[in-house]
Amino acid sequence: MAAALKTLYAALMVLSGLASICGNLLLLLLLVLNKELRTETLGLTLSVRLSDLALGLSAIPLGAYNSLARPSCCPSDGAFCQGSGFILLLLQTSSVHSLAWVAFDKFTEICFALSYGSIWTAGRRRAVLVLVWSFCLVNATLPMLGFGSYVYSESRFLCCPSFTPDHRAFVVLWMLVGAAAPILTMCSLYGYIVYVARKQARRGTFMCNELHCYYVPAYNYLRSSILMVTTSVCLLVCWLPFISVCLYETFSGQQSPAVASALSAWLVLTSTALNPWITCVTQTRYRAVVRHSVTRFIQMCPCSGTPLESRPQSPALRLDTANRISTTTTTAATRPASSPKTPTPP
């Protein structure tokens, strides 16, 4: 690969690494500091965020460094190469599988709302989390035991599984079970949820609380599916080139063009940077928390001029507070039956 392309690859890797670290750290801080963002799938969400953050701190900077280093990184049979390949495969697989189980949880919550509590108990969520990481550990350990192999790829600038006909069985196992199956499952579940949302939008719904019922506009249902559609498209765009290139090398026994190999590796690592920012941009509750946190930080800053406690309360905030107080102190005689749950993004 030409020196200019290697420099471009390194620059893209640096940008992806910064976006991954900042985005995943932001979401982790929001989850820690705001209890209203924590859902029943908190364990799986943390699994995704920590896996993506670890990839942004390990594999992405290593790929950028290796593309500029002279000579190449390290021998394939060395401990460093074997360890970095193990970490790369472990984190990639855990991120994708955790995302798939989050989608399955959301699918169950919407399509089996009445039995959701009995299906997804706290113990079963912990068991799923243990099962995901156990599978990922076993899958990443197999190349060290002789089933597959970790080698340094000159075109990807990373230590990764060997995509050769000699290790065809392991590559097929990882690509199908470790990557393609969870991605396609997640896209299918999200697609069905979006279908339900569109059907519900055409029919219209009245949502009820203790005081009154109100009509839910159609765009509320369609807006709630933006995150699911965007996440599915992002994963397909980032993973399909990588899967296609790897399977081509494995079954043909020929090396793919260096540019295609490097681009597919960069795309699959960039997915760890796109996921947190998609969540922050498309989910209303995350945007509201970020906006509120930024506002509070500006108000508490000494250079803002007016201390936080001395700022006058806006009429809208006083009205909102009064409404909350009256809602919590007023009880209705009967509670109307609520309609089907509006799908909310994970």
State the distance between the two ends of the chain, measured CA to CA, in whole angstroms.
41
Region 36-46: mean pLDDT is 84
What is the rounded average pLDDT for all residues in the chain?
Answer: 80
The C-alpha atoms of residue 190 and residue 184 are separated, in whole angstroms, by 10
Please report, for the chain, the start and end positions of each structural domain, with discontinuous segments joined by +.
Answer: 7-286
**What are the pLDDT digits (tens) for 188-206?**
988 888 887 777 666 655 5
Contacts of 230 (CB under 8 A, 6+ apart): 278, 282
The C-alpha atoms of residue 53 and residue 56 are separated, in whole angstroms, by 5
Going by CATH, does the domain composed of 7-286 fall within 1.20.1070.10? yes
pTM of the predicted structure, to 2 decimals:
0.78
Burial class (CB within 10 angstroms; exposed 0-12, middle 13-18, buried 19+) of 326: exposed
Which one has a higher pLDDT value, 138 or 309?
138
Q: Where residue 221 falls among pLDDT bands split at 50, 70, 90?
A: low
User: Residue 253, by phi and psi: left (phi above 0), alpha (psi -120 to 50) or beta?
Assistant: left
